Amino acid sequence: MQRVYDLLRRHPAWVDGFWAVFLLGISMLSGAVQNENPGAVSPAVTAVLTVLLCLVIALRRRMPERMLVLAAAVGLAQLALDVEPVPADFALLVIVYTVAVSGPPWASRFALIGGLCASPLAQLRWPEKESSTAGNLALMVFLAVPFALAWVLGDSLRTRRAYFAQLEERAARLEREREAQAKVAVAAERARIARELHDVVAHNVSVMVVQADGAAYVLDTAPEQAKKALETISGTGRQALAEMRRLLGVLRTGEHQEGCEYVPQPDVEQLDELIEQCRTSGLPVDYRIEGTPRPLPSGVELTAYRIVQEALTNTRKHGGPNTGASVRLVYFDDGLGLLVEDDGKGAPHEHYEDGGADGQGHGLIGMRERVGMVGGTLDAGPRPGGGFRISALLPLKPAH
């Protein structure tokens, strides 16, 4: 039974054709196509009008507006030619319902007006001679009710379909928006991890390379210094490995192992360790703090740490020999100021923008992204007397 129902739903024209033939058969069996009144029109005219009304049933879904006009024309022809109502006039109710469901607004209004006018016109054309005026009026209202109900049912179904269509469209739009937001979030997270990896790897590997070169240079003449350099390389490597493990842990979605230790992100308090590491690697750094140190938002502290780390890494990579650097940290009432300068020979400005001479890092681009995320400003460029200068202002509250 379900298969038959599905088949009929896939082929609604078959259903309409069946009911059209059924209605035509009922009209023929009732003798509607036979005229028993001597003064009435010929049976052929009645038969033609009956067939046209059945055609309205058969084609109502394919061309509802045209079938509405055809039904109205047949109804007017019945009135003009004095063809009394036939069973096929049921098509008038059906076309009113169909147009109310799927027709344009003008056709729906036309169907409602025509349906409500059909009953009074029929009563005026074929009045009940034995009934009183009140009886004819009551019959007129009674016959108009089915047309009104047909239109109301059709219009209600149209409204319901439009409502569900809006819900489906809204759900599809929300799904597309969720997918877009998810892609943006993934891209932002990848960019954040890439910046973190760049900062960690560039700084620590740079220290390791400098120490390795120094150890190779003094290996034969000063074994103790070479040993100290190797110890620095080992410690720096362990630190880089620990930070990379922390970053890669971000990629584990929904995983949590019992006993895992939470490794906090670096902050300004760890700048002492960073600068001491740079000094150990052979880069003199003058570090000063102005103002009263106080706890800051984690995003501001991480940004400050990474800016200093990247700036000192660039100094070590591009400053040349006998280069010194200075780091100045200023606590304002409404923000944190950073100033990192060096007196080296430097490199072309575009190398800093690209993240180094190899052009594979993030450099100043990554710095600006970090500063922009916390609503701050960044200024970077060569110093008038030589070297490079990076200054940043990180507000305590992001700018809106």
Under the banding of pLDDT at 50, 70 and 90, the label for residue 10 is confident
pLDDT at residue 263 greater than cutoff 50: no
Token code pair at residue 143: 């016959």
What average pLDDT does the chain have? 80
Mean pLDDT of 228-249: 73
Determine the pLDDT at residue 357: 37
At residue 1, the 3 state secondary structure works out as coil
pLDDT digits (tens, 9 = 90+) for 72-129: 999 898 888 888 888 888 889 999 999 999 889 898 899 899 888 888 888 778 777 7
Answer whether residue 347 shows pLDDT above 70.
Answer: no
Pick left, alpha or beta for residue 130 (phi over 0 → left; psi -120 to 50 → alpha; otherwise beta). alpha
With residue 286 as reference, give the H or E element that holds it.
Answer: strand 285-290
Write the DSSP symbol of residue 266. Answer: P
Q: Which domains does the chain have, with CATH numbers?
A: 2-126 (no CATH), 266-400 (3.30.565.10)
- Residue 339 three-state SS: strand
- Based on C-alpha coordinates, what's the Rg of the chain? 44
What integer pLDDT is reported at residue 362 of this predicted model? 53
What is the per-residue pLDDT for 81?
86
* Residues 380-393: tens digit of each pLDDT: 988 887 889 999 99
| Per-residue pLDDT at 368 | 86
Q: How many CB atoms lie within 10 A of CB 209?
A: 14
pLDDT category at 19 given cuts 50, 70, 90 is confident
Total-model pTM: 0.47
What is residue 253's three-state secondary structure?
coil
Let me know: does 249 contact 283? Beta carbons within 8 Å: no
CA–CA–CA angle 350, 368, 177 (5° rounding): 120
- Tracing tokens 């004095």 back to the chain, one arrives at 82
Nearest to 89 by CA among 137, 143, 156, 148: 143
Read off the DSSP letter of residue 270.
G
Considering only CA atoms, which of 84, 85, 92, 137 is closest in space to residue 112?
A: 92
User: In the prediction, which pLDDT does 295 show?
Assistant: 85
C-alpha distances (whole Å) from 389 to each of 76, 83, 360 are 93, 101, 21
Separation between Cα atoms, residue 24 and residue 20, nearest integer Å: 6
- Confidence at residue 8, expressed as pLDDT on a 0 to 100 scale: 62
pLDDT number for residue 289:
94
pLDDT the model gives residue 249: 62
Give the C-alpha distances (Å, rounded to integers) separating 322 from 67, 72, 88. 95, 101, 106
Most confident listed range (33-37, 84-88, 105-109, 231-235): 105-109
Residue 137 has pLDDT above 90, yes or no: no
SS (H, E, C) 59-124: CCCCCHHHHHHHHHHHHHHHHHHCCCCCHHHHHHHHHHHHHHHHCCHHHHHHHHHHHHHHHHHHHH
Q: With contact defined as beta carbons under 8 Å apart, do 126 and 84 qualify?
A: yes
The side-by-side arrangement of strands in the sheet containing 335-342 is 285-290, 325-331, 335-342, 388-395, 377-382
**362: helix, strand or coil:** coil
Which pLDDT tens digit goes with each residue over 358-387? 343 456 777 888 888 888 999 998 888 788
Burial of 392 (0-12, 13-18, 19+ CB in 10 A): buried
At 6, give phi and psi (nearest 5°).
Answer: -65, -40
* 125 within 8 A of 79, measured Cβ to Cβ: yes
pLDDT at residue 189, rounded to an integer: 67
Reply yes or no on whether the pLDDT at 336 is more than 90.
yes
43 compared with 326, residue with greater pLDDT:
326
